[in-house]
A = this chain, B = another copy of it.
Amino acid sequence: MKTVKPTAISGFPEWLPEVKILENRILEIIRTNYERFGFVPIETPAVERSETLTSKGGNEKEIYSLSRLAAEEGEDSVTEMALHFDLTVPLARYVAQHYNELVFPFRRYQIQKVWRGERPQSGRFREFYQCDIDVIGDGKLSLLTDAEIPSIIYHIFKEMRIGRFVIRINNRKILQGLFQYFGIADGESAQVMRIVDKLEKIGTKRVLDEIKETTSVPHEKIHDLIDLIAHDYGNSEILAKLETMKLNDLFCQGVEELTSVFNAVKSLGVPDQYLAIDLRIARGLDYYTGTIYETILKDYPGIGSICSGGRYDNLASHFIDKKLPGVGISIGVTRLLSRLVEAKILQPGPSTVAPVLVTTMDHSRLADYLKFATRLRSEGINTEVFLEELPLKAQMKYANRKKFMFAVIAGENEFAEGKFTIKNLYTGDQQVGVTDEVISIIKEGSATFL
C-alpha cells in the first residue's frame, strides 16, 4: 500500500508537539503584548499579485509564484499570484487599498508565515513566522511613536525569560549627517551605510578597508568616523557628546530625535541597562529614515538581532498618492525559536498542554471518570481522559511519556469513599481527596505547568 516516503523538505521547519507548544507560548507572549499596547490584528492573504511583490524591488529569485498542478480545460494553469516574502509589502498594499476605511494613525500587528525561495544549502528557512507591528500616520506621525516601540520590545523579551538583552537604538540622520560631514558623497552613502552595518560582524579593520575602497575620502577622516561610530560610551555620555558636536543640520536633527526618543522610552519605564544608544546600528534597508532598532541577547550575541525595525518616511508610495510615514519592528519567531532551543536557552517540555490525565482503571465506572473530567474542564483546567481500555500501568507509561504533571486515579476503594487519588508525576507525591480537594491541588500545582 505504502507509495510515498514521508520526509522533511529542506528549509521548511516542522516541530514535534513539545517544540510547537514552546513556539505557541512565544507567539502568545508577542500577541498579548502587541495587544496590550493597543495594536489591532490584521491578516493579509499569503498570496499577492506578483506585480505587487516586485513593485518594491523584491528579489524574484526568492519569490514563489503559483500555478495549478493541472489546468482546467481551455484555461492556463499559470496564475499571476505569488507568496508574500515579508509582511511590509502586504501592509503597504493593505493600507493603500483600505485607506478610506482605516483610522489613522493606524496601529496594526500581523503574525503570519512568510516564504522565501532561498537556496536550501544556506541553512536558512524558506518558511517562517514574522510578528510585525507598525504604526502608520496619515501625512505625519509623532516621534513619540518611535519611543513606544522599545517599551513593547522590553516587555516581550522580559516575559519570554530568555536572559539578558539590550535594545540598541540609533538614528539614520546621525549617520547620514556624519557621512556628509566627513565628505562621503550622497551616491556613496547607502553603500557606506551597508558596510557600517557590518561593523560587529566583520570588525573595524575590514570595515575601514571596505569603506576606503568605496569612497575617495581621505583615510584619516574615515578612521575618525569609524572611531566615533564604534564608541564605547554609556548612554548619557554619548548623548552629551553628540549634543556638543553640531556637525550639520541633518546630524543635529538626528541627535535631537534620538535624545527625545531615548528620554520618552525611559518615561515608559524601560530601565537604562536594557537600552544602548549604538551608532553602529545602521540596518541595511534603504527605506529607514530616522530611528532604527536592533535587539540582541547579551549572553548570545552570535544569534544576532532578534527584533529589528525603524522609522520610514513613506510606506506605500508605489500603491497610493499619499504620504504615509511609519515606524515598526519585526520579530522572526521561527529563527528565534530554533536558535533558543539550539542554545538550550529554551528547553522543550511536556508534549501535552493539559496538566492532568484522568486514568480509567475500571471501564465500568467510565461515566464517573468522564463526569470528573467535565468538572475539571469547567474549572478551566485542561484535562485529558485516557479512553483506551488498557492496564493502569500502560496508562501511567503514557502519562509519563507525555509529561503530564498530574494523574488522577480511581478504583474500587476511591469510589467507595467518593474520593480520587491525585498523583504528582513530577514529585511522586500522592494524595487522596474529594473532588474539590483534588481541584485545589491541581490548580495550585499547575500554575507552574508550561
Interface residues of A, Cβ cutoff 8 Å to B: 1-9, 12-17, 20-21, 23-24, 35-52, 54-55, 60-72, 79, 81-83, 93-94, 96-98, 101-103, 105, 107-108, 113, 115, 117, 119, 127, 137, 140-142, 144-145, 148, 151, 155, 264, 267-269, 317-321, 351-354, 357, 366-367, 370-371, 374, 377, 380, 382-385, 387-389, 398, 401-402
Contacts and interface: CB of A to CB of B under 8 A. Distances in A.
A4 B37 contact: no
Contacts of A144: 366, 387
Contacts of A52: 4, 6
Given A47-B12, A398-B103, A42 B61 contact: no
A29 to B, nearest CB: 14
Quick one: copies of this chain in the complex? 2
B20 A268 contact: no
Given A1-B317, A317-B1, A366-B267, A17 B41 contact: yes
Contact of A107 (B105, B383, B384): B384
A64 B80 CA distance: 12
Contact of A94 (B3, B14, B115): B14
25 contacts: A2-B320, A4-B49, A4-B52, A4-B318, A6-B319, A6-B320, A9-B47, A20-B40, A20-B42, A21-B40, A21-B41, A36-B380, A38-B353, A38-B354, A50-B69, A63-B68, A64-B66, A64-B79, A68-B117, A79-B117, A142-B387, A142-B389, A148-B387, A151-B374, A269-B374
A204 B60 CA distance: 55
A20 to B, nearest CB: 5
A1 to B, nearest CB: 4
Which of A45, A51, A79, A93: most chain B Cβ within 10 A? A45
Contact of A38 (B35, B115, B384): B384
Contacts of A97: 6-8
